Amino acid sequence: MLRALGVRDFVIIERVELELGAGFTVLTGETGAGKSMLVDAIELLVGGRGDASLVREGAERAELSAEFDVEAGGPLAAWLAENDLAGDEGVTILRRTLDRGGRSRCFINGHAATLAQLREAGELLVDIHGQHAHQSLLRPAAQRQLLDAQAGAETLARDTAAAWRAWQRLEALAAEAQAQFARRAAERDELDEKLAELDRLALREGEWDELAAEHSRLAHGSSLLAGAQSSLDTLSEAEDACLPQLAAVANSLRSLAAHDAGLRTIVEILESAEAQAGEAVRELRHYATRIDLDPAALREAESRIEALHAAGRKYRVRPQELPGLAAEMQARLAELELAVNPEALQREVAAARERCQALTTQLSAKRKATAAAFSKAVTDGMQQLALGGGRFSVALRPLETPGAQGAEEIEFEVASHPSLPLRPLAKVASGGELSRISLAIQLLASRSSPVGTLIFDEVDSGVGGAVAESVGRALKRLGKDRQALCVTHLPQVAALGDEQWTVAKSGARTKVSVSVTRLDRAARVEELARMLGGAEITATTRKHAAEMLGE
């Protein structure tokens, strides 16, 4: 329950403090005085959106605070303990500041908190029904959420949506994997074909260099043989061959060395040259016998070179790199063989689909079980709000393809007269009827809300007379179980409040002041008379106001 509210430098409010009691409390005042501004302050305090425009002109920051009674062992107490935000037993204090730069700071029981935490705490403390709630009821999403809340299926609805998204994500992955698998299969087939072609070449590491040397030798065999024979002739086989002359020079100097020892070194050099030349002659004779002038072998080598060149061009590598390329292809083929089988992913898809279908079935069952009872309760509420004979129904229409929101489309239908058929709420209800139907729904929803404070911001707009009195009585009954705060322009509603506050605005355009005052009985009579008679209050209106208050 909201015990105290403090608002400072918020929009046009300089400073306001309220101490509230249990039961049904009404806030009244002239149009534009700032009544709904107090509701906006509470909404901001429990995690609503805010920006720098909410800071009063000339102030550095807006400050909001509220004190709530907290049930020991209740959901909020458990949440505070879980988040290390507990304060004094039985009390929770929320505070929020908003500065000129748009920066916001949040506190729970004096502890710094995040905006998300403030919002979570607020959801356990306050339930706000805005003056435009009847407009949101025309949206299918709002109708669905309201039914799920009545069915206690909000968590199940979130789980169903999450399961559906998980299923769809896996379906997409499976489709992608299938496409990848097809691409892998195509790549594997292509690699198989390429490797088969390279295998037919029977590649060997280093073969290209050996082949190039062999081809060069075979291609120049005649020249090599002629050169070898010519060299042999020059060295040893011609008449004036070098080797015999070299031997003769060495012998001549050897005999002279007996007379001059200085020639011995030269003789040794010549003897070494003669020996090496002789070795060269022997090697040349051996080489000449090994030179192959086989044209067939040359053609074979040329054919092999051309085959390797063609493969290199095809795979865009140098011929000598073909063995390495074949090894890379073999490794990639092994990787493809080890790739994940899409059948395993399909099993995951099937499991996700089954989980989603199971949750969807549970959600549909809860919705179906709640729809009839909810329809009857709203219909009963309509009878109390001058819609006698009217009917309300929640239509559940199966979807051809279930989605994140479940297996059915949810639509609120209404008939404002017994003779009329049920039709969609958005198409048949007038403004006044829609407002009353909305109020009947909100009152019903409020009874199932677990929070201790319920706030209604001009939800009674569009009604008057006996209907307004019915609205007031419904809110007063609600106040017997929970704290109910209502911003209203209707004297019939205000007169039924257990407590009444009035909001007034004064001052010039450049210096506006807003005050909030708790009214005693005499002041309530005056305020009700104003609400009844407008600017000119007569004895008659005062008497009427007193009678209303007395009732």
- For residue 336, the model assigns a pLDDT of 67
- Cα→Cα distances 151→157, 337, 436, Å: 10, 52, 22
Q: Give buried/exposed letters for 177-189 (b at 16+ CB in 10 A, else e).
A: beeebeebeeebe
Please name each of the domains of the chain with its CATH number.
1-125+497-513 (3.40.50.300), 183-337 (no CATH)
460: left (phi over 0), alpha (psi -120 to 50) or beta: alpha
pLDDT by residue for the chain (551 residues), tens only, comes to 999 999 999 988 889 999 999 999 999 988 877 888 898 899 999 988 888 889 988 889 999 999 999 888 788 888 999 999 988 888 999 999 999 988 999 999 999 999 999 999 988 888 887 655 556 677 888 889 889 988 989 899 999 999 999 899 888 877 877 777 777 778 788 888 888 888 888 878 887 777 777 767 666 666 766 676 777 777 777 777 787 877 877 787 787 777 777 778 887 887 788 788 888 878 877 776 766 666 777 677 778 878 888 888 888 888 888 888 888 888 777 766 655 566 777 888 899 999 999 999 999 999 999 999 999 999 988 887 777 888 999 999 999 999 999 999 999 999 878 888 898 887 765 666 776 777 788 778 776 666 788 888 876 666 677 778 888 888 888 888 888 899 888 898 999 999 999 998 887 666 778 889 999 999 999 999 988 876 678 888 889 888 888 86
- For residue 66, the model assigns a pLDDT of 95
pTM, rounded to two decimals: 0.59
d(CA 535, CA 541): 11
Instruction: Report yes or no: 156 and 144 within 8 Å, Cβ to Cβ.
Output: no
d(CA 514, CA 462): 26
d(CA 501, CA 524): 9
Instruction: Report yes or no: 493 and 28 within 8 Å, Cβ to Cβ.
Output: no
Name the residue type at position 112: A
Which DSSP symbol is given to 54? G
- For residue 10, the model assigns a pLDDT of 92
- For residue 219, the model assigns a pLDDT of 66
d(CA 156, CA 162): 10
Say how many C-beta atoms besides its own lie within 10 A of residue 245's C-beta.
10
d(CA 349, CA 551): 66
- For residue 225, the model assigns a pLDDT of 63
- For residue 338, the model assigns a pLDDT of 53
- For residue 339, the model assigns a pLDDT of 53
Q: Which residues pair with 506 in a beta bridge?
A: 513
- For residue 515, the model assigns a pLDDT of 87
